[in-house]
A and B are shown apart, each in its own frame.
Chain A
Amino acid sequence: AQSVAQPEDQVNVAEGNPLTVKCTYSVSGNPYLFWYVQYPNRGLQFLLKYITGDNLVKGSYGFEAEFNKSQTSFHLKKPSALVSDSALYFCAVREIQAAGNKLTFGGGTRVLVKP
């Protein structure tokens, strides 16, 4: 079975400071990993994904994530946070051979960027 943990319910950061949102996963095989962002009263927007290749993945809005197989982690990062980055962030995992290509989501981390 596949699972995802986002250990922090909320992350507070000052505008201009680095932002990190943590994610660890568990799968029996090789993972596909994803980050999504949700703004209030909106659907989830795709940010970035790791399928294979370079462990550092760059995505939308200046976000990046690093795949670390030994630590089974896929932390989301942004070098300089903006107030507009305040939102709910979800990490998701899928085993490459998962039936139906089903994703398993973490519980989400709320990010609050203060001016």
Chain B
Amino acid sequence: DAGITQSPRHKVTETGTPVTLRCHQTENHRYMYWYRQDPGHGLRLIHYSYGVKDTDKGEVSDGYSVSRSKTEDFLLTLESATSSQTSVYFCAISDHRADTQYFGPGTRLTVL
């Protein structure tokens, strides 16, 4: 497995609270991605990063923000969690050639 960890692995929170998910890589890869996985929708891209402090939106970015202050860490923040953000969140990385993405183990988030 690629050196990717995600924390926490499981989280239950209440509507309206802020939540931060962390993705950490040991591969020194340039690109990092956040996806959410929902039944029937496959994986949808939330945000991605193409370098330190360089980020951009994906197809479902509303309600999410990201930060990347170091190559190895990519944080996903839900400023005010809603029930529609209950999902499984995956981080992925790829190197400068960016032809293959490798995925972390996922974080299961439940917003009550």
Which A residues fall within an 8 A CB radius of B? 4, 32, 34, 36, 42-46, 49, 51, 90, 99-108
Contact = CB atoms under 8 A, between A and B. Distances in A.
Interface string B89-112: 010101000111111111000000
Interface of B: 31, 33, 40-45, 48, 50, 56, 58, 90, 92, 94, 98-106
A101 B42 contact: no
By Cβ-Cβ distance, the 5 closest A-B pairs, closest first, are A101-B98, A105-B42, A43-B103, A44-B103, A105-B43
Contacts of B100: 34, 46, 49
B48 A100 contact: yes
A103 B105 contact: no
Contacts of A108: 42
Nearest to A99: B56
Given A101-B31, A102-B45, A46 B102 contact: yes
B105 A43 contact: yes
B99 A103 contact: no
A80 B78 CA distance: 44
B56 A100 contact: yes
B90 A43 contact: yes
Contacts of B106: 42-43
A15 B92 CA distance: 32
Contact of A102 (B41, B48, B90): B48
Which among A34, A45, A103 has the highest number of chain B CB atoms within 10 Å?
A103
